[in-house]
Amino acid sequence: MSGPEGTETAPPSGGSVLPGDLTRALDAIRTGAYVVDELGCILAVNAAAEEFLGRSAADLLGHDAHDLLHRDAHGHPLPRSQCAMRQAFHAGRAAQARHSYFLGGDGTVLPVSWMITPYDAGGDGSTTLVLFHSADASADDSGPEGPRTIALSELERLALLAETTGRLTSTLDVDEALRRLVELVVPRLADWVVVDLITERDEVWRHTVVHAQGDALVELEELKGPMPPVPAESPMPLSRALRGAASTLAAPRTYQREPDSGIAVEQRRLFDHTGMHSAAIAPIRSTREVLGALTLGRSENPVEFTSDDLPLLEDIARRAGLALDNARLYQRQRKVAETMQNHLLPQMPGVPDLQMTVRYLPAPDASQVGGDWYDAFPLADGSTALAIGDVVGHDLEAAAGMAQVRNMLRAYAWSQQEPPSRIVERLDAAIQHITDVSMATLIYGRLQQADDGTWRLSWTNAGHPPPLLVSRDGVTTYLTDGHGILLGTGVGRGRPDASVALPPGSTLILYTDGLIEATGRTLDTGMQLLRKHAAALIHRPLPAFTDHLLRRVRAPHNDDDVALLALRTP
């Protein structure tokens, strides 16, 4: 099967479809639509296209759209050099045509009108959206060109809504979603875009005031900021939109009358400052509440908004509301998770003559919490307990399990004057019966200072990556002794202990596997990187040593959280 001119592509894979949200976005379009990749092969198709073409999705996905569909008026294959859609596709630009022909599944030649536009589907490669409908459906008595403007205006509207859905739903950051919204509507629909948001404390905040100046988008900071409260009975357009009423039009004269509220005063200031002669205002709503209002304004464009423009504005605002609601819910969850994690991870005790630094980096795609943890606390005999561990998972459930394991370890370590191995045996037996933790790794050690001032570490390792000891001269040693099976297997009896003297000026590094493991990198490679960079950084102060070590060793696209505890003897 042919790909672009002069190349061959592999046969269709039988449905290498993009994520489901793309297919759902296409199904929301009321005309035939499909998305092609940079080679022109169909990635996703909606039900309207399947019905119109008489072809199932399985018959379309993975095929080169030109080879499969494009024909001349007699049903003959259309040379690529004569295909206007193919030329625009390779040029990466929007295009449209009133009279073209597609081949139906039963061999029928179908007259179509089409429009294509570059489309951000959220993947790595470039994609293009194709919208089409029956050319006969647009015919009327308006002249030789028929309803070309009306039909293509409808296609453009559908393309804009599809792009709005795809771009806004592919981010969970409020500011990024609003930035994308601005790029979608300015200058395509308006010279100005203004977004007023209602905060979680029911305050109104003018978040966005952007003007199109040529190809640049300019933010007017002086018009942004807090707004007066929304009046309950005001009939003014913005006040009504912020209460969730239907969209409406506005002009400078709308706010020239005696202002009925502080918001009306701010709106008069907005029109005076921007020079807008026409505006359309719509509420931004989620399924649960009103989130704000979207205002589109024209100053350079002499064409005024009319009531015919309001349905499109409402559709855009509705999609923006769903995206903003999702982003707000996600950010609220992250805030709760961050607060929880900050309370779960303890403050380090001050140990005389000993430096100690800890760091925690959450998994980038998780909820800012996870099962990686560290701990240090004084024991009844005057020694200091050290621990680092990893409960399987990086979510709220793993964080809750981590808290259970950490608190049980503290209780056993304080109450039982026993070697580290015996403490961990007790812990292992308990977590199988009184927690939901299925599997975990752990290093537990005791740090003691002798009368002559030297420090000694005794420890046991339950399936965890070995600690790294770095001398003040940069000699590195992995402490591989004392290694036993991980927690949760039910066969953890007879755990070994190990002991080592910490030389003066040496640095001990306890870490979780997220520091050294990464996709495409072996564990040995990660451990060698840690050893190499720890030796190179050893002369830096401990906080700087720790920060630089994390930046250098942790893989940029690591999908696991990382806990690290570093201590340095005097």
CB atoms under 10 Å from CB of 74, counted, come to 7
pLDDT at 20: 60
Please state which architecture CATH assigns to domain 174-334. 2-Layer Sandwich (3.30)
Calculate the alpha carbon distances from 117 to 61, 93, 147, 290, 352 in Å. 19, 6, 21, 32, 67
Percent of the chain with pLDDT over 90: 48
Q: How far apart are CA 559 and CA 528, in angstroms?
A: 20
**Domain boundaries 20-167, corresponding CATH code:** 3.30.450.20
pLDDT at 396: 63
**Domain segments of the chain: what residues?**
20-167, 174-334, 346-568
Ranges of the chain with pLDDT below 50: 1-19, 137-152, 367
pLDDT at 75: 85
Name, in order, each residue with C-beta under 8 angstroms of 184's C-beta and a sequence gap of 6 or more.
160, 163, 164, 167, 316
Q: Which of 147, 125, 129, 123 is nearest to 85 (CA)?
A: 129
pLDDT at 346: 67
pLDDT at 403: 80
pLDDT at 145: 35
Domain 174-334 shares a fold with domain 346-568: no
Percent of the chain that is helix, strand, coil (3-state, to 5): 35, 25, 35
pLDDT at 492: 63
Element (H, E) at 470: strand 468-470
pLDDT at 329: 84
pLDDT at 143: 38
Question: Which superfamily, per CATH, for 346-568?
Answer: PPM-type phosphatase domain (3.60.40.10)
pLDDT at 155: 67
